[in-house]
């Protein structure tokens, strides 16, 4: 009976160690992917003047308390590469493919569709109708340069 307890305890400890090891491997893999993506974007910026950078690097929440909301709202587009136009996006995709660097999502500023100012104002008015200031548009709590504001509006 005592040896069975000890065996179960050792099994639980071993499973805990295996779990920590899996997490460490996942973290290392994610860090390598992140580094590879940063290098790819830096290379694209050197080769193509219309590359602005990754959305996550071009904007930030206006306040820390909005971090989670902004991340959820932008979702997969946080890692997208913002470019000035469709042609630059095509050129970048071809370059990544030809060099076998990998793939990326691109947001071409000249051709994305974003909400009109009037529709954004209507949504803002609906948020303010609450009277307690609990609701805001995601685009209103993200700080970024005006040159990439359309990409933010598109992503969220």
DSSP assignment of 17-46 equals: HHHHHHHHHHHHHHHHHHHHHHHHHHHHHH
Give the C-alpha separation, 93 to 15, whole Å: 43
Q: Is 0.85 surpassed by the pTM of this model?
A: no
Tokens representing residue 145 in the block = 């340069």
- φ, ψ at 86 (rounded to 5°): -60, -40
Give the C-alpha separation, 6 to 16, whole Å: 15
- 3-class DSSP assignment, residue 52: strand
pLDDT attached to residue 80: 93
pLDDT attached to residue 29: 78
Domain boundaries, the chain: 2-155
Q: Tally Cβ neighbours within 10 Å of residue 4.
A: 8
Buried b (16+ CB within 10 A) or exposed e, 130-152: eeeeeebbbbebbebeeebbbbb
Measured torsion, CA atoms of residues 35, 36, 42, 44, in degrees rounded to the nearest 10: -160
* Averaged pLDDT, 29-50: 88
Check whether 133 has a pLDDT greater than 70. no
87-117 tens-digit pLDDT: 999 999 999 999 888 889 999 999 998 888 8
């Amino acid at each position: 009976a005592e040896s069975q307890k000890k065996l179960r305890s050792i099994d639980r400890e071993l499973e805990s160690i295996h779990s920590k090891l899996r997490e460490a491997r996942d973290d290392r893999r994610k860090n390598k992917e992140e580094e590879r993506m940063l290098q790819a974007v830096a290379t694209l910026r050197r080769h193509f003047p219309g590359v602005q950078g990754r959305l996550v690097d071009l904007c930030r929440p206006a306040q820390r308390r909005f971090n989670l909301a902004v991340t959820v709202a932008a979702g997969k587009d946080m890692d997208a590469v913002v470019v000035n136009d469709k042609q630059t996006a095509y050129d970048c995709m071809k370059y990544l493919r030809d060099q076998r660097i990998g793939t990326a999502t691109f947001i071409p500023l000249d051709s994305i569709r974003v909400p009109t100012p009037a529709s954004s104002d209507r949504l803002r008015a609906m948020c303010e109708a609450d009277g307690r200031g609990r609701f805001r548009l995601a685009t209103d709590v993200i700080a970024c340069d005006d040159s990439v504001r359309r990409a933010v509006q598109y992503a969220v």
